[in-house]
Amino acid sequence: MTASTVSASIVEALEAIEGLDVLTNPDSTSAYAHDRSVWAAYDVPAAVVRPRTTEEVRAVVAACVGTGTPLVTRGAGTGLSGGANATADAVVVSMERMDQILEVDVEHRLARVQPGVVNDDFRAALVEHGLWYPPDPASSPWSTIGGNVATNAGGMCCVKYGVTGDYVRELEVVTGTAEVVRLGRRTAKGVAGYDLRGLVVGSEGTLGVVTEVVLALRPLPPSATTVIGNFDSLEDAGRAVALIGASGISPSVLELVDRGCLEAVDEWKHMGLSNDADTVLIGRTDAPGELAVHETKELIRCFEEAGATFTAASEDEQESEALYAARRFAFPAMERKGVVLTEDICVPLARVADVLGQVRDIGRAHDVMVANIAHAGDGNLHPLLVTPPGDEAAGVRARAAFDEILRVALEAGGTVTGEHGIGLLKRAGLGQELSPAVAQMHHSVKAALDPHGILNPGKALPI
């Protein structure tokens, strides 16, 4: 069959599914064509569906299997690697209407949710139960639990509390053969069989469509104390990160913001941050009682030992949030300056200072503006490559710098992605990170769980 015949066939099959919301007008479907990644290819899909139930999702997968149509699952489109980008012959399954919190089990500290629940909405709903869901990606005001599961998203709290996968107990999944299965278990322990739940977490929609998630929760933490340190160089700040890692304390947050981001924040919010520092480290402790006092002192000691020119600790929650604001503003401030290509490497703590210096030098060598924010406490660095809109030559240089930064991360014993996923942008980098035998294992898993090859094809696998 021709592409146009296939498109007509899948649309007819979708429209036959009772109650399913189907969009085919390009004026509507174009809004679902891509995520927030830069330079990842996409096209307007043949159709967009917005299911409300697992049965509707199962029927959509069955229709795609029957017509050989690619299926791309989409959360809120906040991804940064092209993982949700569509092709012209694809069906995009938007989970935006599967947005219900189905259960909160206070006794066992569990919640069962649909994948379209927005991260921050979920966290806010838990407060009335005295519970907390720690993973907090920067996109948490908009990103969804399903999307977070797809990339095993992290965030600023993950240095102490871990990433999405650490909280996923159970998944309901529609497989590539249109079967509904449950993976994992609600119990705190369980090693019966292979960890298929863990396999699906972070698989970017290539192994199944997640329709329910059971998440472990924590009690609400105490109010945090924020400690800020100003440094004259990225290297000094990197040394402070290594000292904190060796100190034995567990800050709940340890974030880095460099001069490029500080200047952008100042231009936008007029905070005066770049007047006093080349790089700022922002640490937090939410430990109880005297342990918080100890961790605060240790953060200050490590900052000063690494050469901080200024340190300060918040005295109340309002001041803590004010000190923390610079990190929250950094990425949107950079987006105001041009087109932002975001890196997502992760390296050992002992190599943070060295890699930050190499990233700076790569930007200079390629004549590309590179600013840095980082979840420094776990070595997850986010160099931001900024180019003027429409400047194709700058875009070519930025992509070359992007690839070189991946190489530096691997040479440092790190990985090409800490939390954003592979998507389209980092498939070559993944191929460099994995041995040929391990790469073949990835392809074999994909072939076994998606035998018809319809689930987000061309994404997340090494080349």
**pLDDT number for residue 1:** 47
Distance of alpha carbon 154 from alpha carbon 77, whole angstroms: 16
Q: Which residues of the chain have pLDDT under 70?
A: 1-6
Domain boundaries, the chain: 3-94, 101-219, 222-332
Mean pLDDT of the chain: 94
**pLDDT number for residue 4:** 60
Q: What global pTM score does this model have? A: 0.94
Contacts for 438-447 with beta carbons within 8 Å, 24 or more apart? 445/199, 445/207, 446/206, 446/207
**pLDDT number for residue 5:** 59
Question: What's the CATH fold of domain 222-332?
Answer: Alpha-Beta Plaits (3.30.70)
SS (H, E, C) the chain: CCHHHHHHHHHHHHHCCCCCCEECCHHHHHHHCCCCCCCCCCCCCCEEECCCCHHHHHHHHHHHHHHCCCEEEECCCCCCCCCCCCCCCCEEEECCCCCCEEEEECCCCEEEECCCCEHHHHHHHHHCCCEECCCECCCCCCCEHHHHHHHCCCECCHHHHCCHHHCEEEEEEECCCCCEEEEECCCCCCCCCCCHHHHHCCCCCCCCEEEEEEEECEECCCCCEEEEEEECCHHHHHHHHHHHHHHCCCCCEEEEEEHHHHHHHHHHHCCCHHHCCCEEEEEEECCCHHHHHHHHHHHHHHHHHCCCCEEEECCCHHHHHHHHHHHHHHHHHHHCCCEEEECCEECCHHHHHHHHHHHHHHHHHCCCEEEEEEEHHHCEEEEEEEECCCCHHHHHHHHHHHHHHHHHHHHCCCECCCCCCCCCCCHHHHHHHCCHHHHHHHHHHHHHHCCCCCECCCCCCCC
* Interval 6-21: pLDDT, tens: 578 999 999 999 999 9
- For the record, the structure tokens of 294 come out as 């100890």
**Helix pair angle (54-67, 3-15), 10° resolution:** 150
CATH of 3-94, one of 3.40.50.300, 3.40.50.970, 3.10.129.10, 3.30.43.10: 3.30.43.10
Write the Ramachandran bin of 101: left for phi over 0, alpha for psi from -120 to 50, otherwise beta.
beta
Q: 101-219 — its CATH code?
A: 3.30.465.10
- Decide: 342 and 382 in contact? Cβ < 8 Å: yes
